[in-house]
Structure 1
């Protein structure tokens, strides 16, 4: 890591070096081919799947031209986009961000960076902020905007923007939950396999939990993607939606707090 990346520290105290660290972490997303690869991958996984369902599937099934097909397809795809994103994105976040701290510890760059006038909080916070910006832009906002335009074009008029982008906000909350979870695990353990394994297990539990466990899933962010899908497709929010949002926000804050404390205690 070039030393010139950390020249001219302006921040002081708990946030010493944050601006320089943030510029460096953002550079890992935006000054390499990473953003192009990620954006292309998520457009293919999410938007091209929706395009296939809207424009190709009706001809394969023989439904093309059927009365009411457009409205039913719009409703189906509007919800399915968020259902699929709720599965794909957590796995993508785990793969992309699991070694944010582990890599630095293995390479010894964490010790080098912290020998500069940079606080541990700035070190940790810069990684959370940079990864959040990258995930929200490339995995949530751009594919979401493309999906909205594509579904509206198929519909012949704009679908309800409030419902769709409200659902996109719920999806962003789900992504923030998994960013916090992965970062917390990566701050506690040095094992990539542990971080990926625990995260994958949590995702699979959210997908395959029995009905009894789904009741507590309201408070574990398991139902956020379903809530987003219902809002986008039908314009309705579940009665427990507010509890889901508050619980997710609280868990995000707790996990980030645990992560920041863990980074403070890492021996280098």
Structure 2
């Protein structure tokens, strides 16, 4: 289990992201998520800026394309010094295999001291079973779909999956001990769910054997972000 909650920097630009981070002590080393919104606006430089500040970065771009395209893209992303990045498991085993190859080749080319982890999205936490069956035409339960994608991801040689914490224990029971479950959809009991469907609290996520949690709006939209971060960090590290 990673002891730091990953803070989702879901901001439209560098200025807003850095303004938010300025509410934290300068010496505080964080684990942050850079998603599509921020990366597509600022490009690779925002990742370099964050790593230069001592933060670990989960680059959440969810690549899904033909294998050769994903391989070449991952080779570039591997040069950024990220701790974790991801693809969609729906892209298939061959795409995932070459994505891992590209990522590691990119990291080796800069002699990175950190071996980046590559994980795959199973089903988004905004997806309900009803919408999955109706819109993706998957005639199985959400649980079965997630487990299928997790096993496919492990077979392809990736390090783990993005999933709901509600599915983490089942996944761990059917994969290797070092296969990681990174879980968004984290809320406190007093928080609104927003567009998330499958949500849990930080301490519930720990009890469900999640390895990482990603927390966005409960921290980024709080009146006192650092205090809220400390509260969530405490709950995440709480013994059950």
TM-score, length-normalised on structure 2? 0.29
Structure with the higher strand share, 1 or 2: 2
Indicate the structure (1 or 2) with the bigger Cα radius of gyration: 1
Greater RCO (Cα-Cα under 8 Å, separation 6 or more) = 1
Structure with the higher helix share, 1 or 2: 1
TM-score, length-normalised on structure 1? 0.27
